[in-house]
Structure 1
């Protein structure tokens, strides 16, 4: 059974991961205590832990804010994610059940429908769902935990790359290669396909960052 402080920590972390609490948003203990129905002491403990995890910036005598990730750091995070998610794709190709493979195929099909409809927001949400399903099928707890922490830092970058002209169609092809490799039980192909996909995402974001820096 989790303690009240653990519960406050998990709920706040979930709100940061989901984007409910946005980068640079001020975190007021009294307000959080009220919304979480928790004591201020438990909220304070949760904020300290979130600060240790790099999700929150704690400023003496000024409170706390959700940490802002720079464009350059976002590129580094994607580079790191590529290694970890390549591992989960490889493990999923070995460990995924028939039901899990059916699930990822269904998610991919939904992404294709959103793409055909021009619904890039829906496509991006399906993208996140697909990656989560692959990570779950991998059954690699350490990789899953590390990836979750990294993804939390990329909330404000979530939709930037998919809006680049032509990127959505390429993204769908890359995801298709990942899913087909997992379904074929080919760990080498699954690992390479995931590494290629996130490498393309990182390259797209890196170009966008450099373009903005030159303006």
Structure 2
């Protein structure tokens, strides 16, 4: 959110419902229902849907209103490839800018991630994963990059959720995240960028596996 721009509670409410899985891909978003749910005028809801369409979270369908946008595997891969470049930049900048407080915080996140994997706390690990990526962005000081990454992650939220739940994925990604933390704490910008890119390359390799493992829709016998 650009500095100084007021937060629209309707935009925030609908966005959180999409990111939290309350509204699912291809679900129709009816203005009247949203107006009641968020205690807002139809005009406010319409403006919120327009804003979220610009973010890529919903799409407007001619004569059918709005629906939550479904992201294909091909698009998820494109998003991940773009994230690889931007997150590599943020990791490098974070290594150059990190201070003592940031160093201690990243160390604590790494320790918590290790503990979550050892205890099988998948949801806790997923939250720490998001926290780490967000904290690296903040330390990097790259506001424009951070805003772009938030939009990319929002569009890809369903694939990210399936990635987090994929058997063995937390343990596999733990070493990747610890490598990012280690390089940033060592103030090694080149190593931090390469570690961030290596992590996203691993995600790229895993996305097709997750898609193949998805249950196929049942087709009725004819």
| Structures share fold, TM-score greater than 0.5 | yes
**CA–CA distance in structure 1, aligned partners of residues 205 and 80 of structure 2:** 9
- Extract unaligned runs of 5+ from structure 1: none
Asked if 1:144 is matched to 2:151, the reply is no
Residue in 1 that maps onto 2:114: 112
**CA–CA distance in structure 1, aligned partners of residues 91 and 193 of structure 2:** 5
**CA–CA distance in structure 1, aligned partners of residues 165 and 22 of structure 2:** 22
**CA–CA distance in structure 1, aligned partners of residues 29 and 164 of structure 2:** 30
1:110 and 1:126 in contact (8 A); partners too: yes
Residue in 2 that maps onto 1:124: 126
Secondary structure, aligned partner of 1:158 = helix
Residue in 2 that maps onto 1:80: 82
Residue in 2 that maps onto 1:55: 57
**CA–CA distance in structure 1, aligned partners of residues 21 and 102 of structure 2:** 27
Question: Does 141-150 or 104-113 show the bigger shift?
Answer: 104-113
RMSD after superposition:
2.4
**CA–CA distance in structure 1, aligned partners of residues 97 and 66 of structure 2:** 41
Secondary structure, aligned partner of 1:185 = coil
Residue in 1 that maps onto 2:155: 153
Q: TM (normalized to structure 2)?
A: 0.85
- Extract unaligned runs of 5+ from structure 2: 217-222
Which of these residues, 22, 25, 28, is aligned with residue 26 of structure 1?
Answer: 28
Q: TM (normalized to structure 1)?
A: 0.88
**CA–CA distance in structure 2, aligned partners of residues 91 and 22 of structure 1:** 35
**CA–CA distance in structure 2, aligned partners of residues 199 and 210 of structure 1:** 18
**CA–CA distance in structure 2, aligned partners of residues 67 and 163 of structure 1:** 21
